[in-house]
Amino acid sequence: MVAVLYGAILMAVDGFVSLLIDRDVISEPDAGPLVGPVMAVTALSIVFVSVLGGLRPAPGPRRVPVGRAISTLAIVYVLSPLAGAIVYVFGQDRALTAVEFFGKYLGSPFVIASAALAGLAILLLPIIDKSRSRAR
């Protein structure tokens, strides 16, 4: 459920940021309809795997997973634009287009927001774990 919530918040934040700065999430006109969703699904998949690892039963009290949150943030920050660059280059005739796309979107507010949200979702895992309903 955490990963689904992350995906919903990611879409909402991307929409609001797009309205506030008056810019499309993917600004290349020749990008095609799959580049943005592939980037979002990549980030969602990374968060899902990180949540699965973070909610494993552990002995003792649950600590705040700062290391897991930072690594998830970094992985989303790098792999999301990389996945978008790979999909984007399929419609292009130059291979260096992927490098240009990747470099451009590393500084994108949308990628930065998705990485920050991913780290926040992992930081909140102990609270979410305590609030899970248990059978009685």
Q: What is the CA radius of gyration of the chain?
A: 17
Could you read off the pLDDT of 74-108 as tens digits, one per residue? 999 999 999 999 999 987 878 788 899 999 999 99
Look up tokens 């419609």; give the residue. 91
Among 119, 122, 5, which residue's Cα sits nearest to residue 54?
Answer: 122
Spell 96-106 as b/e; 16+ CB within 10 A means b.
ebbeebbeebe
The CA distances from residue 113 to 7, 30, 95, 117, 131, in Å, are 12, 24, 27, 6, 26
pTM of the model: 0.88
What sign does the dihedral 104-80-89-22 (CA atoms) show?
Answer: negative
Could you read off the pLDDT of 17-65 as tens digits, one per residue? 999 999 999 998 888 889 999 999 999 999 999 998 877 776 776 677 8
Domain spans in the chain, listed from the N-terminal domain onward: 2-131
